[in-house]
Homo-oligomer: A and B are copies of this chain.
Amino acid sequence: MKIYTIGGYNEVGMNMTAVESNNEIVIFDMGYNMSRLVEYSHELEDLTTLEIVERGVIPDDSILKNNAHKVKAIVFGHAHLDHCGAIHKLIDSYQSKIVGTPYTLDIIKRIMKDNKKPIKNELVELNPKESLSLSNNLDLEFIHVTHSIPGTVLCHLNTPEGGFLYANDFKLDNEPTFGEKPDYSRIKKLAHSDLKAMVIDTTRIYDEKRCESESVTKLNLKHHIDMVFEEKGLVLITTFSSHIERLRNIIELNRKRREIVMLGRSLCEYVHPAVRRKYININGITLAWKRRSVESILEKVDKNRENYLIICTGNQGEPNSVLTRLAQGNYENLKLKKNDNVIFSCTTIPTPQNIENRAMLENKLKKLGVRYYKDVHSHGHIMREDHRDMIRMVKAENLIPAHGETERLASFASLAIEEGYEISKNVHISQNSKILNL
């Protein structure tokens, strides 16, 4: 079995991995690097794909180029952009089908459309507990896990040389507030199959604990909402637009208290498909993003501020988000002021741009006398003790840490050593554009 570690092995972001067995290849993920995307955004339109690759914005898949005809499928485990956001730049080289859960494919279709790329490849929906034959030799199975976006799965590929598990971005939440907990029973059975290798997300390998459940955040949100609703001001909550479970909880905790409006483009992009898939119910909630609509909604809100809860974009302080514009006084019809409250139901993703943007946003809120709350959030990624749980549950022959720079991969390797693995023998610290022969 050959593992092509294409992207995400020298950085957080830009995930892309491929597996080859018997001359057949399956690709997992085609993500971008958010921080570099922002850094080069001013010139991105003018750059060729090759130049974008050179700047480290999207993966360099050139090690696959001569084997593009061998590719049987491109598989996406979930729809975050660091996993699927480069599809429109990279898909042209491949004719194979694209496989994902229904919600993941919804987002992929939207990305292609936004970038004015027609979809030529076949799109195949696959659900957890289902399998798909990719060729005489290859079977793909999706396994349900929890994460901060709906439709997240572990991807299990069966090959004649043994199994391959792509476990890049997920969480082991035993008390999810929406949907089922991870399919532990299936996960544990992998230990008794012939599992040749597991690729596993290491973004939070440094947190020496288990990741907290979304139920914890729901409790914390309740505390904050209860307290701020007592003040007579406007309440705003911002979170990741794709975090449908969180949005559900915010709506539920508010039930029958305040009128909700959801404002911002990316909220629309992720909430609308979630509504169609019945992941979230927004009856009675206004959802808008175009400037004129937002302005007119804000005018209505302003007349009755203490009766409204605004859910809006801007959790990272993005310059064009609704929250940032509000803080800058860009909307004529509603100005933030003392007794207003902002709940950041998110973490600041630590890129230099986000750090500056958030600091500037918080300064502006403070100057206006607006009270704000940070980090009312639990993470979406397994942490060090969850990693240990996974290692023990699946008992893969080889471990391949991914989604991190060399130091993160090595930190996972340290843990694997504690669990009996050996570096270069059965736990592999790889790097971008490299091929592991197992």
* Residues of A near any B CB (own CB < 8 A): 10, 36, 39, 55-56, 174-175, 208-210, 212-213, 215-216, 219-220, 222-224, 226-227, 352-353, 355-356, 359-360, 363, 366-367, 371, 373-376, 385, 388-389, 405-407, 409-411, 413-414, 417-418, 422-424, 428-431, 434
Contact = CB atoms under 8 A, between A and B. Distances in A.
A424 B428 CA distance: 9
Contacts of A417: 10, 406, 431
Nearest to A410: B410
A223 B424 contact: no
B371 A388 contact: yes
Contact of A216 (B56, B220, B414): B220
Contacts of A414: 405-407
Contact of A430 (B174, B356, B406, B423): B423
Contact of A352 (B356, B366, B389, B428): B356
Interface of A is mostly: helix
Q: Which of A409, A423, A428, A430 counts the most B-chain CB atoms under 10 A from its CB?
A: A423
Copy number in the complex reads 4
B424 A222 contact: no
Contacts of A55: 367
A209 B406 contact: no
A36 B364 CA distance: 11
A106 to B, nearest CB: 31
A424 B222 CA distance: 37
A205 B56 CA distance: 25
Nearest to A430: B423
Contacts of A405: 414
A227 B208 CA distance: 16
Contacts of A413: 406, 410, 429
A338 to B, nearest CB: 11
A175 B223 contact: yes
Contact of A39 (B355, B360, B411, B423): B360
Given A356-B356, A431-B423, A213 B223 contact: yes
Given A209-B376, A213-B219, A227-B389, 5 more contacts: A175-B222, A210-B220, A212-B220, A409-B410, A422-B431
A373 B413 CA distance: 19
A418 B371 CA distance: 11
Contact of A406 (B352, B353, B388, B410): B410
Contacts of A356: 352-353, 355-356
A238 B356 CA distance: 23
Contacts of A374: 208-209
A117 to B, nearest CB: 27
A175 B253 CA distance: 14
A55 B423 CA distance: 22
A212 B220 CA distance: 7
A375 B209 CA distance: 8
16 contacts: A10-B417, A56-B367, A209-B375, A210-B373, A212-B220, A215-B219, A216-B216, A216-B219, A227-B389, A373-B385, A406-B413, A406-B414, A410-B429, A422-B434, A423-B431, A424-B424
A423 B434 CA distance: 9
Contact of A429 (B208, B429, B434): B429
Contacts of A366: 418
A210 B430 CA distance: 28
Contacts of A215: 219
4 pairs of A and B residues whose beta carbons are closest in the complex: A410-B410, A352-B359, A356-B356, A352-B356
